[in-house]
Structure 1
Amino acid sequence: MKKLIILSILISSVLTACKTDQKKLKIALGEDTHLTVLEKIANANGFENWKDVQSIKFTFNVDRDDEHFERTWLWKTSSNEVTMMTRQDTITYNRKTVDSTMTATDGGFVNDKFWLLAPYQLVWDQKSFTFKHTEGAEAPISKTTMHKLTTVYSNDGGYTPGDAYDYYFGDDFIIKEWVYRKENQSEPNMTTSWEDYKTINGLNISRMHKRPDADFSLFFTGVEVK
C-alpha cells in the first residue's frame, strides 16, 4: 500500500512539473491566453527577467548623414538613480525627485530608454495609453504581413503627450518595425526597423534601428545588464 501511495505522489509530482514547464514555455512563446498582447511582446523580449536586474548601462548613438551623436546612461533600477555621461559632462540625479533643473536631462533619458526597452514600456506605461491590436497588417518597410499594435498616449503628463506608435511584429511577438506619429497625426514622423537583437543577461534587446528613407541609424553600444 505504501508503495502505491509513493508511486501516486511521484506521478502527481511529475505531472505538476510538466504542466509548470509547459506553462513557462507558453509564456516564453507568447502563447498563454491569459496574457494581453502587451505582456506577450514584453515576455518575448525577456521581461520576466527584469525583476533580477540591478542596473543597466548603455550608449545611445545616432548617425545622421555625416553627423554622430552619443550619450551614455547608467540606470540603477532599485534606487532609480541615473547617471548621464557625455564628452562634455557627467550628471547624476534620482528619478524620484526630478526638479526643473533636471527636466531636460530626464527627458533625454526617457527618450533613450524608450528606444532601448520599448517592449517593456508597453507593460510599464499601459495605464497611460489606449491600444489596438490588428492582425494581417502590411508592415511599412518590408511590406510583409504582420501583426500591428497601435498605442496612443493620453494628453495628460509625460514629455510627449498624445503621441502614437505603431508596432509591427510576427507570431513570435518580436518587434520588426515601428512608426512614430507625433500627437497621433495620420502621417508618420519616423519609421524605422528593429534589428540586431541580442540577449544580454536574459533581456532580448534590439540594438539597431534604420530609416528606409534617410541616411539615419539609431543604435546601442556598450549594453551591460547586471
Structure 2
Amino acid sequence: MKKLILLSVLISSVFTGCKTDQKKPKVAVAEDKELTVLEKIANANGFQNWKDVESIKFTFNVDREDEHFERTWLWETASNDVTMMTRQDTISYNRKSVDSTMTATDGGFVNDKFWLLAPYQLVWDQKSFTFKHTEGVEAPISKSVMHKLTTVYDNDGGYTPGDAYDYYFGDDYIIKEWVYRKENQSEPNMTTTWEDYKELNGLNISMMHKRPDADFSLYFSGVVVK
C-alpha cells in the first residue's frame, strides 16, 4: 500500500538572556506548516469544525428518470454508532465491530457518507490513496479551467479497491465537479456536478449532484448536524 507522508517543519529559536550571562533553555518554536491540497479542500468545507460534531443525520436520495431511491442515516461520530432507516426497515450497528451480517449495510453507509463528506474523506483516507494535483485543466462539464486533483485508492482494503476520483475545483478549493473511474480505468463511469452548498454548524456541504448526460440527480435532504 502506498502511503502519503505529510511533512512538518520545525524551526528552533534560541533565546539568550540580555541582563545576565546565564543561558536560558532552548525553546523549539513550531512554524505553521504548509497545508497540503487535501487539507486545503477539506478546510474550505469546514473540516476544522468537524471536531465539534456529535452526530450527523442525512437522507441520501437518487432520482433516475421515473425512479426514486432514498435511505436515511444517523451517525453518532464519537461512538461510531450508525442507524440506517428505510421505509422497510431500521438497522443499527457499530462501525467498530462490523461482521458479515452488516457488510452490505456498512457498504451503503460508506458510499452515502463519501458523497456527503468527500472533502473530509481526502484527509481521513489520505493513507489509502496516491494523489496528483494539476492546475489549468478543463473541467468535463462546465469546460471551465480549474484545478484537478486525482486520487487513486490502493488495491487492497475497502469496499471498492483501486477506484479513482478526479476532483475539479477553483482557487477557493471548493469542489465544482468530479469524475468516478472504477478500478482506475481511463474512461469515466460517472461525472457529476457539486452544487447547492449549504453551511450547517460550520460544515459546508454540497446538497446536489447532477449528471450532464442523463436524467439523474443525487441529493441530500433532512441534513442535521449537532
Give the TM-score category using the shorter length: 0.7 to 0.9
Letter in 2 for 1:144: S
Deviation at 1:214, TM superposition (A): 0.1
1:152 and 1:137 map into 2 onto residues whose CA distance is 18
Q: Residues 180-210 of structure 1: CA distance to partner in whole angstroms, max 9, x if unpaired?
A: 0000000000000000000000000000000
Structure 1 runs (4+) deviating above 3 angstroms are: none
1:56: which partner in 2? 56
2:123: which partner in 1? 123
2:225: which partner in 1? 225
2:186 paired with 1:190 = no
2:176: which partner in 1? 176
SS of the residue aligned with 1:183?
helix
Q: Residues 68-114 of structure 1: CA distance to partner in whole angstroms, max 9, x if unpaired?
A: 00000000000000000000000000000000000000000000000
2:101: which partner in 1? 101
TM-score norm. by structure 2 comes to 0.86
Deviation at 1:127, TM superposition (A): 0.1
Letter in 2 for 1:199: E
Change (3 A) 1:33 1:177: farther
1:89: which partner in 2? 89
Letter in 1 for 2:140: P
Deviation at 1:33, TM superposition (A): 6.6
1:166 and 1:137 map into 2 onto residues whose CA distance is 11
1:107 and 1:57 map into 2 onto residues whose CA distance is 17
1:36 and 1:150 map into 2 onto residues whose CA distance is 14
SS of the residue aligned with 1:127?
helix
1:6: which partner in 2? none
1:189 and 1:132 map into 2 onto residues whose CA distance is 20
Deviation at 1:44, TM superposition (A): 0.1
Letter in 2 for 1:37: V
Letter in 2 for 1:116: L
Letter in 2 for 1:180: Y
- Superposition pairs for residues 145-164 of structure 1, below 5 Å? 145-164=145-164
1:136 and 1:152 map into 2 onto residues whose CA distance is 20
More helix by share: 1
1:126 and 1:216 map into 2 onto residues whose CA distance is 30
Identity %: 89
SS of the residue aligned with 1:171?
coil
Q: Residues 9-38 of structure 1: CA distance to partner in whole angstroms, max 9, x if unpaired?
A: xxxxxxxxxxxxxxxxxxxxxxx8710000
1:112: which partner in 2? 112
1:65: which partner in 2? 65
* Unaligned ranges ≥5, structure 1: 1-31
2:149 and 2:96 map into 1 onto residues whose CA distance is 30
2:137 and 2:154 map into 1 onto residues whose CA distance is 24
C-alpha RMSD over aligned residues: 1.1
Q: Residues 26-72 of structure 1: CA distance to partner in whole angstroms, max 9, x if unpaired?
A: xxxxxx87100000000000000000000000000000000000000
SS of the residue aligned with 2:126?
coil
TM-score norm. by structure 1 comes to 0.86
1:148 and 1:33 map into 2 onto residues whose CA distance is 23
Change (3 A) 1:148 1:33: farther
- Aligned pairs, number: 196
